């Protein structure tokens, strides 16, 4: 039996203090695990550690993705899809417009997908960053698009687009003013770290630059729903007595709807238990693109009986998965 109810919109707190990401552990979904051409990037010579992180993201394989290439075969104007899969540097784009694509005919340019230049190359050939640290290796400049205040603009450029199975979830982020609540795309999807962002700090002094010091930044190995541990963070769950029954509530803890991809499905199994741990009742909630949770929305599973606690199991089905993946398995007490 399935029972699910969308509840009234609520207001999320400004920032989640517990949002500390761990190492990425994505599940295989048929897409390349890594762009093995990463070492050809000019940036990799000095920033090998960052380039290798990027190589393991779906941004790096955005052009190589076999599903994307298959989708292009049915498009009357496949070049319209290139904007986001092989974009030109975004530093000169107008917010609210789609990026311009690189030349797909140039294999050496195309196979890098969303490359380093997309976010870091300025209009005058300078390298953009959050601090604009100077080096003799290249011209550098601080960019508002890479600071805490403006960093989501780069993500929004592509992720506000509805095309194929992709839902423009960045529209949700903008329309609900998530930045006013202390949220950002980078804040949720890129682990905060402190490290040396160059592979060989000693080379700085050899080149006549100041000694390189560790600084705060972000991992370039992005967190996505393919990672069960990260996906579990999408929901805040609670259980409470509701008259003669019990209500289990799942709250969307993201800055956009979930799920955000056609073909992605979340199945939440809820089992009501008595004080001795015996099963009292079971219910299932299913979320997909036709029954998604919007920003700040809640969904509820209603039991007509009372219990002491609820056991929850979350299963994720996504295009390319061989079978449903377990991403949530917890027991929570029923509040009274």
Looking at residue 303, its pLDDT comes to 97
Work out the average pLDDT over 213-240. Answer: 92
CA angle in degrees (0–180, nearest 5) for 250-251-255:
145
Domains of the chain: 5-10+228-333 (2.60.40), 38-218 (no CATH)
**Sign of the Cα pseudo-torsion (176, 180, 186, 191, in order):** negative
pLDDT tens per residue across span 170-213: 999 999 999 888 889 999 999 888 888 887 777 767 777 777 77
Compute the average pLDDT of residues 96-107: 81
Which has more confidence, 275 or 94? 275
Residue of 167, 39, 53, 158 lying closest to 98 (CA atoms) = 158
How far apart (Å, rounded) are the C-alpha atoms in residues 217 and 294?
30
Pairwise CA distance, residues 10 & 317, whole Å:
27
Work out the pLDDT band at 20, boundaries 50, 70, 90: low
Q: What is the average pLDDT across 243-253?
A: 95
- Compare 298 and 4 and report the one with higher pLDDT: 298
Determine the pLDDT at residue 17: 45
- Report the percent of the chain where pLDDT is more than 70: 91
Whole-model pTM: value is 0.86
- The closest of 285, 282, 290 to 249, measured between CA atoms, is 285
Q: Round to whole Å and give the CA distance between 309 and 47.
A: 50
Distance of CA 115 to the CA centre of its chain: 17
Q: Quick one: pLDDT band at residue 244, thresholds 50, 70, 90?
A: very high
């Amino acid at each position: 039996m399935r029972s699910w109810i969308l509840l009234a919109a609520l207001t999320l707190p400004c920032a989640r203090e517990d949002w500390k990401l761990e190492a990425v552990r994505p599940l295989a979904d048929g897409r390349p695990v890594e762009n093995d051409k990463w070492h050809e990037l000019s940036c990799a010579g000095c920033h090998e550690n960052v380039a290798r992180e990027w190589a393991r993201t779906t941004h790096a394989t955005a052009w190589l993705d076999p599903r994307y290439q298959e989708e292009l075969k049915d498009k009357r104007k496949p070049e319209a899809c290139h904007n986001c899969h092989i974009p030109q540097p975004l530093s000169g784009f107008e917010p609210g417009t789609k990026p311009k694509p690189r030349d797909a005919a140039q294999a050496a340019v195309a196979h890098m997908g969303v490359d380093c230049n997309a976010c870091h190359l300025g209009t005058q050939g300078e390298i953009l960053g959050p601090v604009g640290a100077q080096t003799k290796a290249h011209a550098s400049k601080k960019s508002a698009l890479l600071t805490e205040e403006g960093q989501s603009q780069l993500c929004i450029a592509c992720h506000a687009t509805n095309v194929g199975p992709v839902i423009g979830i960045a529209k949700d982020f903008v329309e609900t003013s998530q930045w006013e609540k202390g949220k950002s795309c980078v804040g949720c999807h890129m682990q905060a770290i402190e490290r040396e962002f160059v592979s060989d700090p000693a080379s700085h002094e050899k080149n006549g630059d100041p000694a390189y010091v560790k600084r705060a930044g972000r991992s370039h190995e992005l967190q996505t729903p393919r990672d069960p541990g990260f996906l579990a963070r999408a929901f805040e769950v609670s259980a409470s007595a509701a008259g003669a029954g019990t209500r289990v509530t799942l709250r969307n803890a993201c800055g956009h709807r979930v799920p955000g991809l056609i073909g992605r499905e979340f199945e939440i199994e809820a089992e009501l238990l008595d004080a001795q741990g015996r099963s009292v009742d079971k219910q299932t909630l299913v979320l997909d693109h036709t029954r998604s949770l919007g920003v700040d929305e809640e969904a509820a599973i209603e039991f007509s009986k009372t219990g002491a606690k609820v056991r929850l199991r979350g299963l994720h089905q996504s295009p390319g998965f061989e079978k449903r993946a377990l991403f949530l398995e917890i027991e929570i007490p029923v509040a009274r």
